[in-house]
Amino acid sequence: MLPTRVIGSFTLIPQQAADRDFHGPWNKLLNYLFSPDSPYTVIPREHYSIAATQEQSGMVREHQPELWFMKFEVQFENLPILIVLVSAPTVIESPLARELADAEIRKQMTSSIELCPLSTLRAISVFGCYMCTYTCDVAAPKPEIYPTLIEQLAAGAGKARDLAPRDRWCSDIQAVEGQQVLGRLVESTKAECMKEAENRVV
Protein backbone atom coordinates (compact mmCIF):
# COMPACT_ATOMS: atom_id res chain seq x y z
CA MET A 1 0.00 0.00 0.00
CA LEU A 2 1.18 3.48 -0.83
CA PRO A 3 1.38 5.97 2.05
CA THR A 4 -1.55 8.32 2.52
CA ARG A 5 0.67 11.37 2.07
CA VAL A 6 1.44 10.14 -1.46
CA ILE A 7 -1.84 8.69 -2.65
CA GLY A 8 -3.95 11.25 -0.79
CA SER A 9 -3.25 13.93 -3.38
CA PHE A 10 -5.29 11.93 -5.91
CA THR A 11 -8.39 11.82 -3.69
CA LEU A 12 -8.59 15.62 -3.55
CA ILE A 13 -9.05 15.99 -7.31
CA PRO A 14 -12.68 16.35 -8.56
CA GLN A 15 -14.03 13.90 -11.13
CA GLN A 16 -14.30 16.53 -13.86
CA ALA A 17 -10.71 17.71 -13.44
CA ALA A 18 -8.42 18.44 -16.38
CA ASP A 19 -5.22 16.56 -17.04
CA ARG A 20 -3.17 19.41 -15.52
CA ASP A 21 -4.68 18.68 -12.11
CA PHE A 22 -3.01 15.28 -12.13
CA HIS A 23 0.50 16.49 -12.97
CA GLY A 24 1.40 17.16 -9.33
CA PRO A 25 0.07 13.89 -7.89
CA TRP A 26 1.78 11.79 -10.56
CA ASN A 27 5.02 13.71 -10.17
CA LYS A 28 4.92 13.13 -6.42
CA LEU A 29 4.08 9.45 -6.82
CA LEU A 30 6.84 8.77 -9.34
CA ASN A 31 9.41 10.58 -7.21
CA TYR A 32 8.32 8.51 -4.22
CA LEU A 33 8.73 5.28 -6.20
CA PHE A 34 11.98 6.42 -7.82
CA SER A 35 13.61 8.50 -5.11
CA PRO A 36 15.83 11.45 -6.11
CA ASP A 37 18.64 10.06 -3.92
CA SER A 38 18.69 6.82 -5.93
CA PRO A 39 20.13 6.03 -9.39
CA TYR A 40 16.79 7.10 -10.90
CA THR A 41 15.59 10.46 -12.16
CA VAL A 42 11.98 11.46 -12.82
CA ILE A 43 11.74 14.04 -15.60
CA PRO A 44 8.50 15.93 -16.41
CA ARG A 45 9.18 16.11 -20.14
CA GLU A 46 6.38 18.11 -21.75
CA HIS A 47 2.70 19.00 -21.82
CA TYR A 48 1.32 18.66 -25.33
CA SER A 49 -1.68 17.64 -27.42
CA ILE A 50 -2.25 15.52 -30.49
CA ALA A 51 -5.18 15.84 -32.88
CA ALA A 52 -7.13 12.96 -34.33
CA THR A 53 -6.87 12.32 -38.05
CA GLN A 54 -9.92 12.56 -40.28
CA GLU A 55 -9.75 8.80 -40.69
CA GLN A 56 -9.83 8.27 -36.93
CA SER A 57 -12.63 10.70 -36.10
CA GLY A 58 -14.68 10.86 -39.29
CA MET A 59 -14.77 14.66 -38.89
CA VAL A 60 -13.55 17.41 -41.18
CA ARG A 61 -9.98 18.56 -40.67
CA GLU A 62 -10.90 21.91 -39.10
CA HIS A 63 -12.80 20.28 -36.23
CA GLN A 64 -10.53 17.44 -35.15
CA PRO A 65 -10.71 16.61 -31.42
CA GLU A 66 -7.47 16.83 -29.43
CA LEU A 67 -6.13 14.83 -26.51
CA TRP A 68 -3.71 16.41 -24.04
CA PHE A 69 -0.84 14.57 -22.39
CA MET A 70 1.70 15.19 -19.68
CA LYS A 71 4.78 13.11 -20.34
CA PHE A 72 6.97 11.86 -17.51
CA GLU A 73 10.14 9.91 -18.17
CA VAL A 74 11.95 7.84 -15.56
CA GLN A 75 15.63 7.40 -16.30
CA PHE A 76 18.30 5.07 -14.98
CA GLU A 77 21.78 6.52 -15.38
CA ASN A 78 20.39 9.14 -17.78
CA LEU A 79 18.64 6.63 -20.07
CA PRO A 80 14.85 6.00 -20.33
CA ILE A 81 13.39 2.96 -18.59
CA LEU A 82 9.77 4.03 -18.01
CA ILE A 83 7.44 6.40 -19.87
CA VAL A 84 4.23 7.72 -18.31
CA LEU A 85 1.61 9.68 -20.27
CA VAL A 86 -1.15 11.31 -18.21
CA SER A 87 -4.47 12.45 -19.71
CA ALA A 88 -7.75 13.68 -18.21
CA PRO A 89 -10.12 11.04 -16.78
CA THR A 90 -13.18 12.76 -18.26
CA VAL A 91 -12.50 11.31 -21.73
CA ILE A 92 -11.70 7.73 -20.77
CA GLU A 93 -15.08 6.47 -21.98
CA SER A 94 -14.39 7.84 -25.47
CA PRO A 95 -13.09 5.11 -27.83
CA LEU A 96 -11.36 7.81 -29.88
CA ALA A 97 -9.53 9.21 -26.83
CA ARG A 98 -8.35 5.73 -25.86
CA GLU A 99 -7.25 5.06 -29.44
CA LEU A 100 -5.22 8.28 -29.45
CA ALA A 101 -3.68 7.48 -26.06
CA ASP A 102 -2.79 3.96 -27.16
CA ALA A 103 -1.23 5.16 -30.41
CA GLU A 104 0.76 7.89 -28.65
CA ILE A 105 2.23 5.63 -25.95
CA ARG A 106 3.32 3.18 -28.66
CA LYS A 107 4.91 6.04 -30.59
CA GLN A 108 6.78 7.25 -27.52
CA MET A 109 7.99 3.74 -26.72
CA THR A 110 9.13 3.09 -30.27
CA SER A 111 11.23 6.26 -30.24
CA SER A 112 12.91 5.17 -26.96
CA ILE A 113 13.67 1.53 -27.80
CA GLU A 114 17.24 2.17 -28.92
CA LEU A 115 17.96 4.30 -25.85
CA CYS A 116 16.63 1.93 -23.18
CA PRO A 117 19.51 0.26 -21.29
CA LEU A 118 17.32 -2.64 -20.14
CA SER A 119 15.96 -5.65 -22.00
CA THR A 120 12.42 -4.41 -21.30
CA LEU A 121 11.08 -0.91 -21.83
CA ARG A 122 7.97 -0.16 -19.78
CA ALA A 123 5.27 2.48 -20.11
CA ILE A 124 2.00 3.52 -18.50
CA SER A 125 -0.92 5.24 -20.20
CA VAL A 126 -3.04 7.06 -17.62
CA PHE A 127 -6.47 8.68 -17.63
CA GLY A 128 -6.48 10.43 -14.26
CA CYS A 129 -6.07 7.48 -11.89
CA TYR A 130 -6.74 4.66 -14.37
CA MET A 131 -3.69 2.91 -15.77
CA CYS A 132 -2.87 0.66 -18.70
CA THR A 133 0.66 -0.78 -18.57
CA TYR A 134 2.80 -1.56 -21.62
CA THR A 135 6.02 -3.51 -22.13
CA CYS A 136 8.42 -4.01 -25.01
CA ASP A 137 11.24 -6.54 -25.31
CA VAL A 138 13.84 -4.22 -26.79
CA ALA A 139 16.34 -7.05 -27.25
CA ALA A 140 14.08 -8.94 -29.67
CA PRO A 141 14.99 -8.90 -33.39
CA LYS A 142 11.64 -7.21 -34.01
CA PRO A 143 10.57 -5.50 -30.77
CA GLU A 144 6.83 -5.79 -30.18
CA ILE A 145 4.82 -3.72 -27.74
CA TYR A 146 2.30 -5.42 -25.45
CA PRO A 147 -0.65 -5.38 -25.13
CA THR A 148 -0.75 -6.32 -28.79
CA LEU A 149 -1.95 -3.65 -31.20
CA ILE A 150 -5.52 -4.20 -32.39
CA GLU A 151 -5.77 -3.66 -36.13
CA GLN A 152 -8.80 -1.96 -37.67
CA LEU A 153 -11.03 -4.10 -39.87
CA ALA A 154 -10.72 -3.58 -43.58
CA ALA A 155 -13.32 -1.27 -45.09
CA GLY A 156 -16.60 -3.06 -45.64
CA ALA A 157 -15.58 -6.08 -43.57
CA GLY A 158 -18.04 -5.36 -40.80
CA LYS A 159 -18.32 -3.25 -37.65
CA ALA A 160 -15.16 -1.37 -36.71
CA ARG A 161 -13.26 -2.70 -33.73
CA ASP A 162 -12.58 -0.87 -30.49
CA LEU A 163 -8.85 -0.36 -31.02
CA ALA A 164 -8.20 0.38 -27.34
CA PRO A 165 -10.79 -1.41 -25.14
CA ARG A 166 -11.86 0.36 -21.96
CA ASP A 167 -11.01 -2.65 -19.80
CA ARG A 168 -7.32 -2.17 -20.54
CA TRP A 169 -7.43 0.87 -18.24
CA CYS A 170 -8.83 -1.11 -15.34
CA SER A 171 -6.09 -0.50 -12.75
CA ASP A 172 -7.03 2.36 -10.40
CA ILE A 173 -4.06 3.80 -8.53
CA GLN A 174 -6.39 4.64 -5.61
CA ALA A 175 -7.35 0.96 -5.20
CA VAL A 176 -5.23 -1.79 -3.64
CA GLU A 177 -5.25 -3.80 -6.86
CA GLY A 178 -4.03 -0.84 -8.88
CA GLN A 179 -1.25 -0.12 -6.41
CA GLN A 180 -0.20 -3.76 -6.61
CA VAL A 181 -0.04 -3.59 -10.41
CA LEU A 182 2.13 -0.48 -10.24
CA GLY A 183 4.23 -1.99 -7.47
CA ARG A 184 5.03 -5.08 -9.52
CA LEU A 185 5.98 -2.94 -12.50
CA VAL A 186 8.31 -0.80 -10.38
CA GLU A 187 9.88 -3.81 -8.65
CA SER A 188 10.58 -5.60 -11.93
CA THR A 189 12.03 -2.41 -13.39
CA LYS A 190 14.36 -1.84 -10.45
CA ALA A 191 15.43 -5.49 -10.39
CA GLU A 192 16.39 -5.29 -14.04
CA CYS A 193 18.27 -2.04 -13.42
CA MET A 194 20.28 -3.60 -10.60
CA LYS A 195 21.10 -6.59 -12.78
CA GLU A 196 22.27 -4.25 -15.53
CA ALA A 197 24.45 -2.36 -13.04
CA GLU A 198 26.00 -5.60 -11.77
CA ASN A 199 26.76 -6.75 -15.31
CA ARG A 200 28.60 -3.51 -15.98
CA VAL A 201 30.78 -4.00 -12.90
CA VAL A 202 31.66 -7.54 -13.93
Domain ranges of the chain: 4-201
Mean predicted confidence (pLDDT) in 62-73: 89
pLDDT of residue 54 exceeding 90, the answer is no
Mean predicted confidence (pLDDT) in 9-17: 91
Q: Residue 194: its pLDDT value, please?
A: 95
Give 199's pLDDT tier (boundaries 50, 70, 90). Answer: confident
- Cα–Cα distances in angstroms (integers) from residue 71 to residues 47, 84, 87, 109, 191, in the given order: 6, 6, 9, 12, 24
Contact 74, 42 (CB under 8 A): yes
DSSP lists the bridge partners of residue 75 as 41, 80
Q: Minimum mean pLDDT among 59-68, 84-93, 128-137, 186-195: which range?
A: 59-68
DSSP lists the bridge partners of residue 120 as 137
What backbone torsions phi and psi does residue 76 show, to the nearest 5 degrees?
-120, 115
pLDDT of residue 195 exceeding 80, the answer is yes
Q: Residue 155: its pLDDT value, please?
A: 40
pLDDT, tens digit, 9 for 90 and up, residues 127-163:
999 999 999 999 999 999 999 988 765 444 555 678 8
Query: What is the Cα–Cα distance from 34 to 27, expressed in whole angstroms?
Result: 10
What does the mean pLDDT of the chain come to? 91
Say how many CA atoms lie within 13 Å of 147 toward its Cβ.
16
Q: Residue 154: its pLDDT value, please?
A: 43
The listed range with the strongest mean pLDDT (11-15, 50-54, 112-116) is 112-116
Q: What percent of the chain has pLDDT over 70?
A: 89
Contact 192, 119 (CB under 8 A): yes
Q: What percent of the chain has pLDDT over 90?
A: 80
